Chains A and B, each alone.
Chain A
Amino acid sequence: MSFSLATPATPDEAFEFLAQDPEATAILAGGTDLLLDLEEGLVRPRTVVSLRRLPWREIRWNGPRLTIGSLAPLADLEADAGLRRRLPSLAKAIHAVGSLALRHRATLGGNLGRASPASDLIPLLLVLDARLSLVRRGDRRELRLDEFIVGSRRTALAAGELIESVTIPAPLPSEYLWQRVRLANDISQVGVAVARGTTTSAWRIALGGVTPRSVRLPSAEKLLGPGLPAPLAMELAAQEAAQRAPFTTDKRATEAYRRRLVYVLVKRAVAAVAASADALPETPSPSRTAKKSVPAKARSTSAR
C-alpha cells in the first residue's frame, strides 16, 4: 500500500482534496475498517483523505429530534448521558461494536459509509428511520438510510460527497439484540433491531448479518399488528422473520443457525419493546388496555 494522506482542517479543504482525483480517493474517518482493506490491498487509492480534523462531532437534541455529527467517536456517543437516557437502544448497539479502544476511533459516519452487511448500527438506525445529511461543496441533500445503503458495502454517496450528520426524528421504544462468538472485537452473526412507533404504533423489525444488506421485514412487522402483540402474534412474527430473512452460510455461521437466532432474538426484542412501550406515557391508551387483557394468556404460554 502506498498512498498520500490529506488531512484537511475544514470541510471546504476536504471537498477540494476529494475533487482532485475522485476515482482514486478513499475517505478515512476512524479507519477501523478502511485500514484493514488498505493493508490487504483490497483497495488501492492514490489519495486517502482523513476527516479527523473536521468538526461534525456534536450530539444535538431539538425536541425529540436527535442529530449526531458523523465524526463523533462511538465511545463518546455511548458515554453521553442524554443519549443513554433517551435512546438506550442506540447506546447499546454502539456498545456492541468492536472494543472500547476501537470505539474511541470508530465513527457513526464511518460505520454507515462502509456499509457492512454485518453492521451493528444499521439495523437499529433503519427501524429508527434515520436520515443522513450529505454535503458537497455548495450542495446538501438528505437521504433516508434505506436509500443510502444500496448493497453490501455499497452506498448512494456521490463522488466528492461526505456524510455530515445523522438524524433520528424521534427516540422510539426500541431494542437491539445480537449474537456472536466473542463479546468484544467480533462481528455479529445476526443482529435484530425492533422499534415501535409511538404515534402510528406500527412495529418495525430490521436484521443485520444478512445478505447483501440490512433489511426491514414488513411481512413480519404486519403480523405484530398495531398495538401490543399477543404471544401468538409474537410467535408468528418471529417465525416469519426467521423464514424471510435473506441469510446465507459463511465463515461466521450457517444459514440454519442464523434463522434459529433470528427466531429467538425477534421474540425477545419484541417482548422487551412491548414491556418498555407499556411504561411510556406517549403510548396510546388502547394498547395499554390491550396489554391488560393479555397477562393470563402470556403466563400460560411461557409455562409451556
Chain B
Amino acid sequence: MTDREFACTVNGTKVARRDVPDDERLLDTLRWRLGRKGTKEGCRTGDCGACTVLVGGRPTLACLTLSHEVAGESVVTVEGLHDDPVGRRVQEAFERESALQCGYCTPGFLVALTGAIKSHPHGAGERALLEAIGGNLCRCTGYVAIRRAVASLGTSRP
C-alpha cells in the first residue's frame, strides 16, 4: 500500500484522492469512494459487462481494472452519458423501445454502445453494435427489446 495520489477525470470532472489502495478496482473506487453507483457490479469476473465504463474512450470492464492504472486518464460512466450527444441518443433509443426490465445491466449496455459508436468515425452498422454488446448479459433476458433499440439507432455516426 502507498498513499499515492489517485488522479483522473470522471465524467469531465477532475478527481484527486489519497485514500485509494493499490489493489482496489476501478469499479469499487467509482462506486464506494466517488459515489458513482450507476456502474454496476455483476460478476466481478469480466463475464457480464455490467461494469463497463469508458477509459480514454474505450469500453473497459471496471471490475478488471485497477484504479491506479487509469491515473491521468479520462473515465466516463453511465452518469456522464447525458452530457454526450451520442450517449444521449443511445439512452433515448433504450427509452423509446423500453429496452430494460430491472435495469441492472442497462448502464453497461449504454456505455458499451456509446463507446462503439464513437470509435467508428465512418458509422457503426447494426452488426458492429451488436458485436459491441456481445459481452453484456441481461439476466431478465430482455434481449429482444435491446436488439430493437440497437436497430433503431441505424447506422450510427458519432
A residues contacting B by CB (< 8 A) are 1-5, 7, 28, 31-32, 35-36, 38-39, 48, 50, 52, 73, 75, 98-102, 104-105, 183-185
Q: Report B107-145 CB contacts with A as 1/0, cut-off 8 Å.
A: 000001001100000000000000110111000000000
12 A–B contact pairs at CB < 8 A? Answer: A1-B23, A2-B23, A3-B23, A31-B65, A98-B46, A99-B135, A100-B112, A100-B134, A100-B135, A101-B135, A105-B60, A105-B65
**Interchain CB contact under 8 A, A31 and B64:** yes
**Interchain CB contact under 8 A, A32 and B1:** no
Query: CA separation between A38 and B52, bound complex, in Å?
Result: 20
Q: Does B92 contact A (CB under 8 A)?
A: no
Shortest Cβ distance from B74 into chain A, in angstroms? 14
Shortest Cβ distance from B76 into chain A, in angstroms? 13
Tell me which residues across on chain A come within 8 A of B100, comparing CB atoms: none
Tell me which residues across on chain A come within 8 A of B60, comparing CB atoms: 101, 104-105
Query: CA separation between A98 and B63, bound complex, in Å?
Result: 15
Shortest Cβ distance from B43 into chain A, in angstroms? 9
**Interchain CB contact under 8 A, A100 and B66:** no
**Interchain CB contact under 8 A, B22 and A3:** yes
Query: CA separation between A32 and B47, bound complex, in Å?
Result: 10
Query: CA separation between A1 and B22, bound complex, in Å?
Result: 10
Taking a contact as CB atoms closer than 8 A, the residue among B21, B69, B136 that contacts A7 in the complex is: B69
Q: Does B59 contact A (CB under 8 A)?
A: yes
Q: Does B89 contact A (CB under 8 A)?
A: no
Shortest Cβ distance from A62 into chain B, in angstroms? 28
Shortest Cβ distance from B153 into chain A, in angstroms? 16
With A7-B68, A100-B112, A104-B59 known to touch, is A39 a contact of B44 (CB < 8 Å)?
yes
**Interchain CB contact under 8 A, B65 and A5:** no
List 10 additional A-B contacts (Cβ < 8 Å) besides A5-B66, A36-B64, A185-B134.
A5-B23, A7-B71, A100-B112, A100-B132, A100-B134, A102-B46, A104-B59, A105-B60, A105-B65, A184-B135
Shortest Cβ distance from A50 into chain B, in angstroms? 5
B residues contacting A by CB (< 8 A) are 1-2, 21-23, 25, 44-47, 49, 52, 58-61, 63-66, 68-69, 71, 112, 115-116, 131-132, 134-136
For the complex of A and B, 3 pairs with smallest distance between CB atoms: A99-B135, A184-B134, A5-B22
Query: CA separation between A31 and B44, bound complex, in Å?
Result: 13
Query: CA separation between A183 and B64, bound complex, in Å?
Result: 20
Tell me which residues across on chain A come within 8 A of B61, comparing CB atoms: 32, 101-102, 105
Query: CA separation between A100 and B133, bound complex, in Å?
Result: 8
**Interchain CB contact under 8 A, B134 and A183:** yes
Shortest Cβ distance from B110 into chain A, in angstroms? 13
**Interchain CB contact under 8 A, B22 and A99:** no
**Interchain CB contact under 8 A, A102 and B23:** no
Query: CA separation between A183 and B21, bound complex, in Å?
Result: 35
Query: CA separation between A1 and B24, bound complex, in Å?
Result: 9
Shortest Cβ distance from A70 into chain B, in angstroms? 17
Shortest Cβ distance from B30 into chain A, in angstroms? 15
**Interchain CB contact under 8 A, B58 and A75:** yes
Shortest Cβ distance from B14 into chain A, in angstroms? 19
**Interchain CB contact under 8 A, A102 and B71:** no
Tell me which residues across on chain A come within 8 A of B115, comparing CB atoms: 101
Tell me which residues across on chain B come within 8 A of A75, comparing CB atoms: 58
Query: CA separation between A184 and B47, bound complex, in Å?
Result: 9
* Nearest opposing residue in chain B for A34, CB measure: B64
**Interchain CB contact under 8 A, B135 and A35:** no
Tell me which residues across on chain A come within 8 A of B136, comparing CB atoms: 99
Count chain A CB atoms within 10 A of each CB in B23, B52, B63 and give the residue with the most. B23
Tell me which residues across on chain B come within 8 A of A28, comparing CB atoms: 66, 69
Tell me which residues across on chain B come within 8 A of A52, comparing CB atoms: 69
Tell me which residues across on chain B come within 8 A of A50, comparing CB atoms: 66, 68-69
